[in-house]
A and B are shown apart, each in its own frame.
Chain A
Amino acid sequence: MEDFVQPPFLVIADTLFVLSCCMLFGRLRDFVCWLLNPFGQRKKGKEGYAHIRDPTEDFYLRRMYGRIVDCWNRPISSAPDAWFDVMDRKRIKEPSGQDVAEIVNTGTSTRCLNLASYNYLGFAASDPYCTPQVVDTIGQLGVSGCSPRVLGGTTVAHTELEDLVAQYLNVEAAITYGMGFATNSSTIPALVGKGCLILSDSLNHSSIVAGARQSGAKIKVFRHNDAKHLDALLRQSIADGQPRSHRPWKKVLVIVEGVYSMEGEACNLKDVVAVSKRHRAYIYLDEAHSIGALGGTGRGCCEHWGVDPRDIDIMMGTFTKSFGSCGGYIAGKKPVIDFLRRHSPAHLYACAMAPGCVKQVTAALQVVMGLDGTGRGAAKVQQLHDNANYTRARLLEMGLDALGSWDSPVMPIMTYSPAKMVALSRELLQRRMAMVIVGFPATPLLLTRSRICISAAHSREDLDWALEQLDELATLCNLRHGNTALKAHMEASLKDHIRRHFGEAAAAAATVAG
């Protein structure tokens, strides 16, 4: 997908020009500040102590990020449902160049359409089935366990959830943790260490990077979603063995994500599994964004591609997104989970997940699996896919560069220029829409983007209204890049998607516009 998002030449020129102006004037102003007051203008740290933030690194922060801080960390004052209350803020101090702009809450809030939260299945708000169970559990088991799982933190709620997760994913066993980030960052070091090799997708999440670094294993990065490159790297690495000593690797772990959070793209799982199996590498699949969201019954990336979940050695996922709670799980074969119960640091030392959060996941899973006796869960997944595909098709039709796979609830809209990204974010908030924008350093400098997260809680009217607004903004911010290569690619992948799910006949008739 990256091949299709090359920004047009004029956009590159414009962006680089704007950025260099920013740099130039920033440096100039720094120089003038220094001339006017050579001593003490820059905030000095305590005498004899080094700065907490490296003074050479904070230029970007002071002179660039400092101007646009209002685009992030916007607080809300309600549940992150389809519509939510974004608290109004105002600048009380303009960015001085020494400091970022200072923003305070005004005390009022505005009801906005929520296109930002990872509330894929709409469990974020109070739910008639889940909330009463959560309330009961808090009454029965308290607010928190105040103890790690191995000491006195394991409750019936935990064991119930672990059984249900294993059943849902159709694997032997599962273990749960209180935080999605820690699930990755503490499980990877427990599984691999010195003498092992980690092959990680180039766009993997920061938690995977943290875990891999902590493990002490050798890390190699393969090109995003490129099974061929993975194959080449695997062959070469296995043949070469460990660096310097050239001993054979103890084990090789391939780490991929189900849906990449900044691309909205589903992992090319079938090919990755085939390559890894051929080379006997273990597969670690992070389903943070895909569990509950992809697949006909929300069972994630495996169901989406028709891969047997037992072929995946480690299935990881989080409860933060689709299930409206917190925490994460690792699922797989029983010996693996037993080992993690004995040797995973987050299981041994961290406080157990709060019982209320556990119950929320259990209840949400029951709804998704249809165990609550209604068809509500299936309808939610269907609604999510319909919403996502409808929105994606409309965005492409408008001529916007919307990325991501079909069915995936995450869709970035490429803005390319950071200035446009900021303009878009502010204008969207003016029009009562909340959308996430991402720029450097989270993405490459020229690939800044704005991201929509679709939820099953959105109604068609909500989306139509949002698309109407976006259509106006596309003109205002000059975002219609009319990328024909991307459109052709999306058309082809749509046909492929429909062929797999609905058969040959439907595929022939499908177009993005339809």
Chain B
Amino acid sequence: MRRQAAQRLVAALFALLALLFGVLIVSAHAQAAAGADVSESVPNLLSLAGIARAWREFWAIVGPGGKLHPAYFLEHKGHLVIEAALIVVIVYLALQHSFKVHPRAEDPLTDKEIDQLCKEWTPEPLVPTLPESERIEPTVITGIDGPYVYVQGRKEKVLQMAASNYLGMAADKEAKDVSVAAVDKYGVGSCGPRGFYGTIDVHLELEEELAKFYGTEAAIIYSYDVATVASIIPAVTNRKDIIVCDEFCSYAVQAGYTVSRSRLRTFKHNDVADLERVIQELEAEEKAKRRPLCRKLIIVEGIYANYGDLAPLDRIALIKEKYKYRLMVDESHAFGVLGATGRGACEHFGLKPEQVDIIAASMSHAMGSVGGFCVGDRTIVDHQRLSGSGYCFSASLPPYLAVAGINMLRRLRAGTTPSSGGSSGQQQGDKAGSGGAGEVLPKLHSKIRAFRTDLMRGVPGLKLYGGGVLSPVLHLHVAKPVSEAADTAALRRVAELMLTSGCGGGVGGVLVGVPQYASIEHRRPPPSLEIFVTLGLGDKELGLAAGALRKAAKEVFKQ
């Protein structure tokens, strides 16, 4: 401590000396300049001769031999002034120590006063007390059986429609078998970040498979879904850059742009004209302020997790090309569902992988694993390997989950994902056999269409958001909203009734979710009942679910 203080003192003294020296030189220089003859009359700038004289006088000072010529300046050690100024700056910066406790500049508080203030201060409690209505116990699952689950406290199995296990991979026998084999070989955890011997061969294999699946140069995997997008955004943008984002984007995107501290603009949900307006405004501003070229990013979700509708990617891609913005698409819910080969919303809208700069997705939906990935060209992926905080500073994905992911990708390509469950749900091992993804995905699509069409025919008191779009995420909003709390309570009651009032055929009920949103979210979506359509659900199950939903809704929203 004392040594540091002494060092600072010496530095400060040195700075003072340098400053003094600088001032002396400047004053000497000024004296020399003031000695010039000032008695002559001011030249008349309206006449040619006057201008010529003014120029000559000017040149006599600025030209070679003049007192403002750089040579004169150097000759009279003028550079020392600049050097002294620089030293002062360096010393100033050196004294800016981050550990310094800054006391008040004027009239500092005495120790006694500080003690008194500290004694007087009463902090708020660490957390506010939760109202009783917000304390909810989630349904506890005790077993999984194809599209059905067993829940605690109930004997009969119930339909699982609260999980986004779109292709049934999470409960699939082959997926379980390869996972178990991987646990035997690699253990469960990877015990280290990717950089520090936490890279396991299956991670590399999964990245290779993903790149191959998307036809991109490279892929990178993260170990958690919300950390994926939240790490990618700060890696590719910072304070100087621009993000234009759909107003309905999920929490992961919000967390990402908050950490990146970029300049953020939002556009109206799925409104391409508004997107163009926002971009035009931004471009005009950039031009007016003559800012250098910065990284510009448009962020949308393929299927919006909190609403269940699709982004019009074809039109967004046109705008992106026109204004030279990069496009980032969060394909979490669309991956493995949309498109002819399951590549997601980009494929659905006919975009080629190279038209989208960054594709990110969660591996915890259709893939039936955990984690997230990003595909794109090598520069973008390699950049994340050094700058993606969730990649660099976190332990890597447990190897068995990577193996489950590889298994899913290979089978999606080969078309051997678990076939539709039918009525009993016992055929988990049943394979579609042939035909590739080309057969599995249309089956899923037809189920989504059928269920959506069914619900669009009307559910008492509820309204399906997005109508007939091809999306397996269904959000039912209250048709006549009262207040956030009341609507949430009503929807929760619907979900509870659906779970507990049996729907016949040996099925105890339907498990659906009512999403909750954190108080820290910038913009909370309206309360909704969230239902996922998965491949495992047969016509019978979908019918049962719609029936149970109508019955429960009728009971709650008595009309």
Q: A281 near B123 (CB under 8 angstroms)?
A: yes
User: A45 vs B296: C-alpha distance in the bound complex, in angstroms?
Assistant: 13
Pick out which of these stretches binds chain B: A177-185, A291-299, A397-405, A458-466. A177-185
User: A50 vs B144: C-alpha distance in the bound complex, in angstroms?
Assistant: 49
Q: A146 near B394 (CB under 8 angstroms)?
A: no
- Which residues of chain B have C-beta atoms less than 8 A from A181's C-beta? 224, 227, 389-390, 393-394
| Distance in Å: Cβ of A216 to nearest Cβ of chain B | 8
B520, CB-defined interface residue at 8 Å: yes
User: A189 vs B123: C-alpha distance in the bound complex, in angstroms?
Assistant: 17
Q: Beta-carbon contacts of B95-129 to A below 8 Å, as 1s and 0s?
A: 00011011110000100011101100111111111
A272, CB-defined interface residue at 8 Å: no
| Distance in Å: Cβ of B485 to nearest Cβ of chain A | 13
Q: A182 near B226 (CB under 8 angstroms)?
A: yes
Q: A80 near B144 (CB under 8 angstroms)?
A: no
| Interface members, chain A 57-87 (any B CB < 8 Å) | 61, 72-81, 84, 86-87
Residue among A210, A229, A323 with max Cβ neighbours from chain B (10 Å): A210
| A147, closest chain B residue (CB) | B163
- Which residues of chain A have C-beta atoms less than 8 A from B180's C-beta? 135, 138-139
Pick out which of these stretches binds chain B: A18-26, A339-347, A376-384. A339-347
| A131, closest chain B residue (CB) | B183
Q: B251 near A345 (CB under 8 angstroms)?
A: yes
Q: A190 near B518 (CB under 8 angstroms)?
A: yes
B344, CB-defined interface residue at 8 Å: no
Contact residues of A: prevailing secondary structure: mixed
B470, CB-defined interface residue at 8 Å: no
A282, CB-defined interface residue at 8 Å: yes
Q: Beta-carbon contacts of A121-157 to B below 8 Å, as 1s and 0s?
A: 0011111001100110011111111111111111110
Q: A222 near B140 (CB under 8 angstroms)?
A: no
| Distance in Å: Cβ of B506 to nearest Cβ of chain A | 20
| B109, closest chain A residue (CB) | A239
User: A180 vs B190: C-alpha distance in the bound complex, in angstroms?
Assistant: 13
User: A357 vs B364: C-alpha distance in the bound complex, in angstroms?
Assistant: 14
User: A343 vs B454: C-alpha distance in the bound complex, in angstroms?
Assistant: 34
Q: A151 near B404 (CB under 8 angstroms)?
A: no
Given A73-B199, A214-B259: A193 and B171 within 8 A (CB)?
no
Q: B191 near A144 (CB under 8 angstroms)?
A: no
User: A116 vs B193: C-alpha distance in the bound complex, in angstroms?
Assistant: 10
B442, CB-defined interface residue at 8 Å: no
Q: B200 near A144 (CB under 8 angstroms)?
A: no
| Interface members, chain A 444-477 (any B CB < 8 Å) | none
User: A434 vs B109: C-alpha distance in the bound complex, in angstroms?
Assistant: 55
Q: B126 near A185 (CB under 8 angstroms)?
A: no
Cβ contact of B197, chosen from A117, A147, A251, cutoff 8 A: A117
B471, CB-defined interface residue at 8 Å: no
| B99, closest chain A residue (CB) | A223
User: A213 vs B225: C-alpha distance in the bound complex, in angstroms?
Assistant: 20
Cβ contact of A144, chosen from B118, B226, B369, cutoff 8 A: B369
- Which residues of chain B have C-beta atoms less than 8 A from A419's C-beta? none
| Distance in Å: Cβ of B456 to nearest Cβ of chain A | 23
Q: Please classify how large the interface on chain B is, using the bins under 10, 10 to 19, 20 to 34, 35 or more.
A: 35 or more
B160, CB-defined interface residue at 8 Å: yes
Q: Beta-carbon contacts of A312-337 to B below 8 Å, as 1s and 0s?
A: 01100011110111100000000110
B165, CB-defined interface residue at 8 Å: yes
- Which residues of chain A have C-beta atoms less than 8 A from B169's C-beta? 143
- Which residues of chain B have C-beta atoms less than 8 A from A50's C-beta? 241, 293-296
| Interface members, chain B 532-556 (any A CB < 8 Å) | none
Cβ contact of A126, chosen from B118, B187, B194, B520, cutoff 8 A: B187
- Which residues of chain B have C-beta atoms less than 8 A from A118's C-beta? 191-192, 395
Q: B196 near A436 (CB under 8 angstroms)?
A: yes
Q: Beta-carbon contacts of A239-259 to B below 8 Å, as 1s and 0s?
A: 110000000111110000000
- Which residues of chain A have C-beta atoms less than 8 A from B28's C-beta? none
User: A143 vs B178: C-alpha distance in the bound complex, in angstroms?
Assistant: 10
- Which residues of chain B have C-beta atoms less than 8 A from A155's C-beta? 140-142
- Which residues of chain A have C-beta atoms less than 8 A from B519's C-beta? 343
- Which residues of chain A have C-beta atoms less than 8 A from B204's C-beta? 75, 105
Cβ contact of B520, chosen from A125, A135, A189, A350, cutoff 8 A: A189
| B242, closest chain A residue (CB) | A50
User: A210 vs B226: C-alpha distance in the bound complex, in angstroms?
Assistant: 14
Cβ contact of A349, chosen from B171, B251, B404, cutoff 8 A: B251
Q: Beta-carbon contacts of B152-174 to A below 8 Å, as 1s and 0s?
A: 10000000111111000111100
Q: B117 near A239 (CB under 8 angstroms)?
A: yes
B243, CB-defined interface residue at 8 Å: no
A290, CB-defined interface residue at 8 Å: no
Q: A339 near B130 (CB under 8 angstroms)?
A: yes
Q: Beta-carbon contacts of B249-265 to A below 8 Å, as 1s and 0s?
A: 01110010011000000
User: A357 vs B370: C-alpha distance in the bound complex, in angstroms?
Assistant: 11
User: A43 vs B382: C-alpha distance in the bound complex, in angstroms?
Assistant: 14
A351, CB-defined interface residue at 8 Å: yes
- Which residues of chain A have C-beta atoms less than 8 A from B252's C-beta? 349
Q: B520 near A343 (CB under 8 angstroms)?
A: yes
User: A156 vs B142: C-alpha distance in the bound complex, in angstroms?
Assistant: 6
Q: A349 near B250 (CB under 8 angstroms)?
A: yes
Cβ contact of A178, chosen from B101, B176, B370, B383, cutoff 8 A: B370
User: A95 vs B194: C-alpha distance in the bound complex, in angstroms?
Assistant: 22
A236, CB-defined interface residue at 8 Å: yes
Residue among B126, B136, B143, B185 with max Cβ neighbours from chain A (10 Å): B126
Q: A436 near B122 (CB under 8 angstroms)?
A: no
A409, CB-defined interface residue at 8 Å: no
| Distance in Å: Cβ of A109 to nearest Cβ of chain B | 9
| A75, closest chain B residue (CB) | B199
Q: Beta-carbon contacts of B402-438 to A below 8 Å, as 1s and 0s?
A: 0010000000000000000000000000000000000
- Which residues of chain B have C-beta atoms less than 8 A from A90's C-beta? none
B69, CB-defined interface residue at 8 Å: no
Q: B259 near A131 (CB under 8 angstroms)?
A: no
- Which residues of chain A have C-beta atoms less than 8 A from B192's C-beta? 80, 116-118
Q: A343 near B518 (CB under 8 angstroms)?
A: yes
Q: A238 near B118 (CB under 8 angstroms)?
A: yes
Cβ contact of B188, chosen from A205, A346, A356, cutoff 8 A: A356
A225, CB-defined interface residue at 8 Å: no
Q: B194 near A357 (CB under 8 angstroms)?
A: no
| Interface members, chain A 34-52 (any B CB < 8 Å) | 43, 45, 48-52
| Distance in Å: Cβ of B202 to nearest Cβ of chain A | 9
Q: B144 near A124 (CB under 8 angstroms)?
A: no
A206, CB-defined interface residue at 8 Å: yes
| Distance in Å: Cβ of B424 to nearest Cβ of chain A | 18
Q: Beta-carbon contacts of B192-218 to A below 8 Å, as 1s and 0s?
A: 101111111101100000000000000
User: A158 vs B137: C-alpha distance in the bound complex, in angstroms?
Assistant: 13
9 other A-B residue contacts (CB within 8 Å) besides A154-B139, A186-B255: A53-B379, A117-B198, A141-B144, A142-B170, A143-B404, A181-B390, A233-B101, A342-B135, A349-B305
Give 23 pairs: A residue, B residue, CB < 8 Å, sorted on A. A73-B195, A74-B199, A84-B197, A126-B187, A135-B184, A143-B176, A144-B170, A149-B138, A151-B162, A155-B140, A179-B394, A179-B395, A221-B98, A236-B101, A248-B121, A280-B121, A314-B126, A335-B127, A350-B226, A351-B370, A357-B189, A357-B398, A436-B196
Which 8 interchain pairs have the tightest Cβ spacing? A152-B162, A151-B513, A351-B364, A179-B224, A181-B394, A147-B163, A339-B127, A146-B165
